[in-house]
Amino acid sequence: MNIIILVLDLIKEKNKEMKKITRATFKSFVKKNSDKLLIKSISHFDGMTDGIEYSEKAEFKPAERTEGNADYTLGFSGIWLVGRSADYFKLIDNEKYFGYYVYNCCGSFEVVIAK
């Protein structure tokens, strides 16, 4: 009986880990934590080279509000979502930060809060 309970608990824990991260999940995280967000721009689209360029010194910086393209930026400089199911999300949960790694055709970035 105890073994069955243990196995069911392990299955529940695994299902929590495998929960799909969606745009809505990400938007909710940004909205709830807007005053304490940190953003690291890892790569971005560069029109001069017509491709993705990686940042040499990517580091977390406090998020800065922006008014332009709110549908794509969610109101923050350093965030760019393309939509149409072309944004990919990965959970960041370590001893220092909690948040999301995002990548798409326009680059990649991490949006986190300090623990």
Sequential DSSP letters for 54-81: E-TT---EE-EE--TTHHHHTTEET---
| Residue 65 lies inside a defined structural domain of this protein | yes
Provide the domain limits for residue 58.
20-114
Is position 53 within any domain? yes
**pLDDT band at 59; cut points 50, 70, 90:** very high
pLDDT, mean of residues 21-25: 92
Q: pTM score, two decimals?
A: 0.79
Residue 54 has pLDDT above 80, yes or no: yes
Domain count, the chain: 1
Q: Please, what is the end-to-end C-alpha distance for the chain in angstroms?
A: 38
Does residue 35 belong to any structural domain of this protein? Answer: yes
The one-letter code for the residue type at 114 is A
pLDDT at 28 over 90: yes
In this structure, is residue 109 part of a structural domain?
yes
pLDDT tens digits, one per residue of 75-99 = 999 999 998 889 999 999 999 999 9
* Domain-located, residue 79: yes
Considering the domain boundaries, does residue 105 fall inside one? yes
Q: Alpha-carbon distance 7 to 11, whole Å?
A: 6
